[in-house]
Amino acid sequence: MFASVIIVLGLAALVGYRLFTRSRLSNVPGPTITAFTDVWILTNTYFERRNRLIHELHRKYGPIVRLSPHEVSVSDPAYIKTIYINNYDKSKFYSLFDNYGVTNAFSAIERHVHAPKRRIMHQFYSKSAVTAASVEESIRTRLDRASQYFEQSHRENKAIDALRLFRSIAMDVVTAFQFGEDHGTNFIRDPIERDSILGKYSVQAKSWFIGPYLPSLAKYITPRSFVESITFTDQWNIDNMRRSGFPPDSAAKKLIDGGFSELEAASEIADHVVAGHETTAVALTYLCWHLAKHPEIQDKLKEEIRSACGPSERIPSTVLPAFKDLDRLPYLGAVLQETLRLYTPIPASEPRVVPASGMWYSPSSSEYGSKESRIFIPGGVVISMQPWTLHRDSFVFPDPEKFDPERWIKSDSEMLHRMNKSFMTFGAGIRMCVGMNLAMEDLKFVTAFIFSKYSVKLGPETTDDSMYMIDRYSTRPKANACYIHFEEH
Ligand code: HEM
């Protein structure tokens, strides 16, 4: 009996060893199970542990780790250039972001499909285009509409759900950009429409796992609520676009003029509407939450913003300087940069595919291991980096868990260069966020508007636990709400 057990165990070990050594990624460090199956990483992804787990794996195994027999994660800033600036194709993860069955810039896998779309969009998302007077005015108009909520919080001495308010502002800004100034949503003033549509987007956010991570099963196991809500928002988006009549100031018209078909334009816009409003709102929410807990940072920010503001006029947003002046405020810039570093709205892996010829990994500096060691990654392997880990690299960001805006002001030029190179909140390379300039303008205006007049305090419902960053491709607070009391002074 004993001998048979030994024989069976020995055979199992032999088979295991043969399988392991035949795994294409057996040369990459990582938990043994990942050489055989992707079930382990998928299970952890499903249970919303992926980003933090990959971070722990990097701590344990170093700058390159195996996640499955066909996937590795890298955490060495030099490889942002290799993977993202050199523009490796995206993985299939992204194809589930097609809308109406039509590819858009975000969901395009191959570079030749992506490049022509990006060329057209660059023209109206460039910094000079989005900081044109008309866009600046559009954001100010939304701030004036939103001012009633801040005033109400002060007057009634109560905390309001800042996440919902920021989602409304961001949605109204993004849709005015997509459909034209007079054809965007008015969620700030229309709570019924706001709750209906934002509710649908929240349902979709809950079903984030199946599509991108189990694409072959998606057809069979996607919950009905998800399919219904996506069908609804798809129709809502295309109706908005058609109803707008494609005015000259809309992104929709510029896409059509650039040669997009109506459905291609709709697929693009549906993506920008969701990508643009959630991320911006989440960043603003964490900024207010963090500053509510740190009055010393808040005081410094208020001082800088208030000295840049003009006298208070009847129309609230007119107190704010022109965007070109806001954009130059160092502390405002630093607080936002630090928010986007630690509370990255998209903190997860951005997966790409190693080209057919394969690639070599060797640590770029002794901080990441011996420069002599080399690991070959065969073509076809999915390779990714995640901002969650890059932004917590203590070689680049000393004391990485500390929210320290001064690091963006006081670091020497070499350190600053290193920090900027590792900053991946908006991705990197030609596929980085096309909406970044619009997002930054929106973020700066809303933040300056708040701290030009108010202090922020936490409502009793909002705790560290309710603000836990859920572990998904894009994050948000666990409670899907953040109660902030805006107090005038
Ligand atoms: C704080 C706000 C935002 C953050 C953190 C953010 C983050 C990102 C990231 C990380 C990517 C690259 C993803 C990847 O390669 O896996 C991306 C791509 C993209 N984002 Fe954003 N985004 C923000 C706001 C916006 C806005 C306002 C828009 C549009 C109105 C937008 C539209 C897009 C589009 C279209 C892409 C795909 C670009 C391409 O592949 O050419 N985003 N974003």
Residue 223: predicted pLDDT: 80
Domain ranges of the chain: 52-86+351-423, 100-335+433-489
The mean pLDDT of 66-82, rounded to a whole number, is 97
**Two tokens, residue 177:** 């950009």
Tell me: pLDDT of 22 over 70: no
CA-closest candidate to residue 72, choices 365, 306, 287, 376: 376
Q: What would the pLDDT profile of 373-389 be if each residue is shown by its tens digit?
A: 999 999 999 999 999 99
CA 371 to ligand 1 center in whole angstroms: 34
**Two tokens, residue 407:** 């690091």
CA 87 to ligand 1 center in whole angstroms: 16
Tell me: pLDDT of 12 over 70: no
Closest ligand 1 atom number to CA of residue 351: 16
What mean pLDDT is reported for the chain?
93
Does residue 78 contact residue 360 with C-beta atoms inside 8 Å? no
Closest ligand 1 atom number to CA of residue 345: 5
Which residue's CA is minimally distant from atom 7 of ligand 1? Answer: 426
Residue 27: predicted pLDDT: 95
Q: Using most ligand atoms within 8 A of CB, pick from 113, 433, 436 the residue to mutate for ligand 1.
A: 433
DSSP symbol at 454: E
Tell me: pLDDT of 2 over 70: no
Which residue's CA is minimally distant from atom 6 of ligand 1? Answer: 426
User: For residue 362, how far is the Cα from the chain centroid?
Assistant: 28
The mean pLDDT of 356-378, rounded to a whole number, is 93
DSSP symbol at 184: S
Does residue 250 contact residue 179 with C-beta atoms inside 8 Å? yes
**Two tokens, residue 69:** 């027999």
Residue 214: predicted pLDDT: 79
Strand positions, DSSP E, 69-222:
71-74, 160-161
Residue 333: predicted pLDDT: 98
Q: What would the pLDDT profile of 227-264 be if each residue is shown by its tens digit?
A: 889 899 999 999 999 999 999 999 999 999 999 999 99
Q: What would the pLDDT profile of 28-42 be if each residue is shown by its tens digit?
A: 999 999 999 999 999
Does residue 358 contact residue 377 with C-beta atoms inside 8 Å? yes
Say which amino acid occupies 234.
Answer: D
Which residue's CA is minimally distant from atom 24 of ligand 1? Answer: 276
Tell me: pLDDT of 18 over 80: no
Cβ-count burial of 21 within 10 angstroms (0-12 exposed, 13-18 middle, 19+ buried)?
Answer: exposed
Identify the three-state secondary structure at position 346: coil
Which CATH number among 3.40.50.1240, 1.10.10.60, 3.30.300.20, 1.10.630.10 corresponds to the domain 100-335+433-489? 1.10.630.10
CA distance linking residue 262 with residue 253, whole number of Å: 10
CA 118 to ligand 1 center in whole angstroms: 12
Residue 54: count other Cβ atoms within 10 Å of its Cβ: 24
The mean pLDDT of 181-206, rounded to a whole number, is 92
The mean pLDDT of 116-136, rounded to a whole number, is 96
CA 6 to ligand 1 center in whole angstroms: 56
Does residue 342 contact residue 405 with C-beta atoms inside 8 Å? no
* 100 torsion bin: left (phi>0), alpha (psi -120 to 50), beta (else): left
User: Among 76-90, 139-153, 306-320, where is mean pLDDT lowest?
Assistant: 306-320
CA 174 to ligand 1 center in whole angstroms: 12
Distances 42 to 51, 111, 253, 427 between C-alpha atoms, Å: 12, 27, 41, 23
Site residues for ligand 1, CB cut-off 6 Å: 105-106, 114, 118, 174, 271-272, 275-276, 279-280, 283, 345-346, 350, 425-427, 431-435, 438-439
CA 178 to ligand 1 center in whole angstroms: 15
Residue 88: predicted pLDDT: 97
Residue 212: predicted pLDDT: 76
Tell me: pLDDT of 368 over 60: yes
Residue 26: count other Cβ atoms within 10 Å of its Cβ: 15
Residue 198: predicted pLDDT: 93
CA 62 to ligand 1 center in whole angstroms: 28
CA distance linking residue 254 with residue 260, whole number of Å: 9
CA distance linking residue 73 with residue 456, whole number of Å: 38
DSSP symbol at 81: I
